Amino acid sequence: MLLKTPSRPLADQLAARLSERIQTGLLAPGARLPSVRQCAQQQGVSPSTVVAAYDQLLAQGLVEAQKNRGFYIRNRAIAQTGQSLSALESVATRWTDASRPAPPEPLQHAPVNATALIRGMFQGGNTLPQPGLGAFPPDWLQTPFLSAAVRRVTSSARLNDYSLQYGEPAGDLGLRQALAARLNALSIPATAQQILTTVGATHALDIVSRTLLRAGDCVMVEEPGWAIEFARLDALGMRILPVPRGPDGPDLAVMARYCELHAPKLFVSVSVFHNPTGYCLSPGSAHRLLQLANTHHFHIVEDDTYSHLAPDHATRLSALDGLQRTIYVSGFSKILAPGWRVGFLAAPADLFERLLDTKLLATLTTPALLEKALAWCIDQGQLRRHAQQVRSRLDQARGRSVKLALAAGCSFAAPPAGLFGWVDTGVDTDALAQRMLDVGYLLAPGSLFHATRAPGTLMRINFCTTQEAAFWEVFKTLRHTL
């Protein structure tokens, strides 16, 4: 809360708060600040105070004013370059020169706020449960067998063996054999020679992109979808083609049209417990999607990050396709040990060596110690039992969270399932997210999950961190201000 003091005017406090969020990435380049009137209402100050604060941000080169559109966060790299005019002079000229045309729409990256969400997740010092969190809370993942697994592989002799030389290029063989057994149990016919370990599932996705794609290539992605994947592909220079995702799967008519017009080389999909909707792919949609891929010769990356939360019989493209046009990606950061950063991919045999070359160029190898410890956890059944306990606890949390969300006046845009809920709040969640951030809560507004910014009333919630009434009371109060 802003409190007026003799030594620090309210405008200075508000400018400092917004400046910190811009500098840390919580307000990302391209994001629109609330209007003067909205900000005044949200912060409980006068419009003149907001104008003075925005003037300070303009002078610092952190924001820019666009005529008849509002104030937008500037690209920090551009903001730091030398300018012949000061930021205020530039803005004043733009606003007073009536002969100039209206400024063009700002370039919309995909999406500009992806890293802002990650930065917010990693900021320490806040003990409140975070509704926008993309993972299980740490206390959900505490288990005694992780330390036992590490001790087992770090005896003095083994510690030297595994630390003083590089690991196997494709990853620890014992782990790859354990993963092959796991995939075969899911009816995915992978051998250890088709599996490549990675530094988390995101690294696996990056290896696939860097191997199969070049800048300017077209990639189909589900929308809504995973914000980080959109931003990663955009940073690599790919042309992103958003495909609407429905309850049964992607819109195949839209995909067919993209194939005719743009010849995309890749489709990135989440078949089971889709993020953020929780949808699962139906068998019929899966068969038709694979037919489309074979007809138009594109590969499918199946991101099964939440596989440990789903039943083994859930429809997976890689099982139906037999790893011919599909590349299966998963990891263990969500369910077991985020800090270990162990992921993997399973690929068609004819692509494996190319994918391995890309891994070697980026990271050489992956940490053998942690991979061997993970293999022990899998072989001993520890991971399976742990996943069962987490699923049971999540089911209970989901039930409580859903009741509270409905009582708070929200509705669900998709049936609640998995870790996330896709919630309709009835208000602009971009504006609500900034208001909630003032009191310590990080939201994940729906615009984050679109390949192009599309502010709306949806948000993604984590069922683990929204099962307490305290959050929803604050939510209701601040939503009413909008």
Q: Which CATH superfamily is domain 114-134+385-481 in?
A: Aspartate Aminotransferase, domain 1 (3.90.1150.10)
Report how many helices (DSSP H) and strands (DSSP E) the chain contains, helices first. 20, 13
Does 450 score more than 60 pLDDT? yes
What pLDDT is recorded for position 455?
76
Range with lowest mean pLDDT among 123-132, 214-223, 415-424: 123-132
Q: How confident is the model at residue 6 (pLDDT cuts 50, 70, 90)?
A: confident
Q: What angle do CA 413, 446, 449 make, to 5 degrees?
A: 105
Range with lowest mean pLDDT among 270-284, 434-448, 464-478: 434-448
- φ, ψ of residue 197 to 5 degrees: the values are -80, 150
Query: Residue range 434-441: average pLDDT?
Result: 86
Assign 3-class secondary structure to 272-287.
CCCCCCCCCCCHHHHH
What pLDDT is recorded for position 114?
64
Query: Residue range 119-125: average pLDDT?
Result: 61
Average pLDDT, the chain: 87
Give the DSSP H or E segment for 229: helix 227-235
Q: Exposed, middle or buried by CB within 10 Å (0-12, 13-18, 19+), for 124?
A: exposed
Query: Residue range 430-446: average pLDDT?
Result: 88
**Local structure of residue 193 (DSSP, 8 states):** G
Q: Work out the percent of the chain whose per-residue pLDDT is above 90.
A: 59
**Which of residues 308 and 75 earns the better pLDDT score?**
308
**Which of residues 4 and 403 earns the better pLDDT score?**
403
63-73: string of b/e by CB count within 10 Å (b at 16+)?
A: bbbbeeebbbb
Please determine whether the domains at 10-96 and 142-380 fall in the same fold group of CATH: no
What pLDDT is recorded for position 120?
61
Q: Are strands 195-198 and 343-346 parallel, antiparallel or unpaired?
A: antiparallel
What pLDDT is recorded for position 106?
31
Extents of the domains making up the chain? 10-96, 114-134+385-481, 142-380
The rounded distance, in Å, linking the Cα atoms of 64 and 52 is 14
Query: Please, which residues bridge with residue 455 across strands?
Result: none
Range with lowest mean pLDDT among 16-25, 91-100, 152-161, 399-408: 91-100
What class, spelled out in words, does domain 142-380 have in CATH? alpha beta
Does 146 score more than 80 pLDDT? yes
Cβ atoms 221, 198 nearer than 8 A: no
51-62: string of b/e by CB count within 10 Å (b at 16+)?
A: ebbbbbbbebbb
432 contacts: CB under 8 Å, gap ≥ 6: 425, 443, 445, 459, 478, 479, 482
In tens, the pLDDT along 397-419 reads 999 999 999 999 999 999 999 99
In tens, the pLDDT along 16-65 reads 888 877 876 667 777 788 888 888 887 888 888 989 889 889 888 898 98
Query: Please, which residues bridge with residue 63 across strands?
Result: 73
Length of the chain in residues, anyone? Answer: 482
293 contacts: CB under 8 Å, gap ≥ 6: 267, 299, 300, 325
Query: Residue range 246-256: average pLDDT?
Result: 96
- Give 259's Cβ-side CA count (13 Å radius): 18
Q: How confident is the model at residue 117 (pLDDT cuts 50, 70, 90)?
A: low
19-43: string of b/e by CB count within 10 Å (b at 16+)?
A: bebbeebbbbbbbbbbebebbbbbb
Give the DSSP H or E segment for 183: helix 173-185
- Which amino acid is residue 196, in one-letter code? L
324 contacts: CB under 8 Å, gap ≥ 6: 348
Query: Residue range 341-359: average pLDDT?
Result: 97
What pLDDT is recorded for position 417?
96
Q: How confident is the model at residue 81 (pLDDT cuts 50, 70, 90)?
A: very low
Q: Work out the percent of the chain whose per-residue pLDDT is above 70.
A: 88
What pLDDT is recorded for position 123?
61
CB atoms within 10 A of CB 7: 5
pTM (predicted TM-score): 0.80
Query: Please, which residues bridge with residue 241 across strands?
Result: 220
Packing angle, helices 47-59 and 87-96, rounded to 10: 120
**Tokens 């699923």, residue?**
391
Q: What angle do CA 465, 328, 310 make, to 5 degrees?
A: 40
Q: How confident is the model at residue 96 (pLDDT cuts 50, 70, 90)?
A: very low
End-to-end C-alpha distance for the chain, whole angstroms? 17
The rounded distance, in Å, linking the Cα atoms of 272 and 278 is 8
**CA dihedral defined by 462, 463, 465, 471, rounded to 10 degrees?**
100
Q: Which CATH number fits domain 10-96: 1.10.10.10, 3.20.20.370, 1.10.3720.10, 3.30.565.40?
A: 1.10.10.10
Cβ atoms 252, 289 nearer than 8 A: yes
The rounded distance, in Å, linking the Cα atoms of 12 and 16 is 6
In tens, the pLDDT along 369-391 reads 999 999 999 999 999 999 999 99
131 contacts: CB under 8 Å, gap ≥ 6: 441, 442, 443, 444, 459, 461, 462, 465, 466, 471
Does 312 score more than 90 pLDDT? no
Cβ atoms 469, 426 nearer than 8 A: no
What pLDDT is recorded for position 76?
57
